[in-house]
Amino acid sequence: ETGVTQSPTHLIKTRGQQVTLRCSSQSGHNTVSWYQQALGQGPQFIFQYYREEENGRGNFPPRFSGLQFPNYSSELNVNALELDDSALYLCASSLPPGRITDTQYFGPGTRLTVL
């Protein structure tokens, strides 16, 4: 087990609603990245948080936002949910960015279904 936890494990929402997903990083890891994995696809990078600030963002609209807290845990918020937001949302923790051998360890994910 990686020590990365996510909640909830499953979630069902309807279009237009808002959702908050949570992640606790592995002990000693201060960097958290969020990914969206649609069925049959590889994970797609949403954004990364380091020292409580966004440190890089993928090709996702502003309705995807996040936070990181002083204890390094993180939240992913998605507003105005769309059907295409249905996916597995993965959180990964790692040591500070910029290390050549940086490795990310994933939590079990939150499976979001938008109806």
Partner 1 sequence: RKEVEQDPGPFNVPEGATVAFNCTYSNSASQSFFWYRQDCRKEPKLLMSVYSSGNEDGRFTAQLNRASQYISLLIRDSKLSDSATYLCVVNPIGNQFYFGTGTSLTVIP
Determine how β-strand 5-7 pairs with β-strand 87-94: unpaired
Q: How far apart are CA 7 and CA 110, in angstroms?
A: 6
Q: How far apart are CA 33 and CA 41, in angstroms?
A: 18
Tokens of 59: 């090709």
- Residue 45, interface with partner 1 (CB under 8 A)? yes
- Residue 68, interface with partner 1 (CB under 8 A)? no
Nearer CB in complex with partner 1: 82/102: 102
- Residue 108, interface with partner 1 (CB under 8 A)? yes
- Residue 101, interface with partner 1 (CB under 8 A)? yes
- Counting every residue written for the chain, the total comes to 115
- Residue 66, interface with partner 1 (CB under 8 A)? no
Nearer CB in complex with partner 1: 28/100: 100
Q: 5: burial class by Cβ within 10 Å (0-12, 13-18, 19+)?
A: middle
- Residue 28, interface with partner 1 (CB under 8 A)? no
- Residue 52, interface with partner 1 (CB under 8 A)? no
Nearer CB in complex with partner 1: 13/45: 45
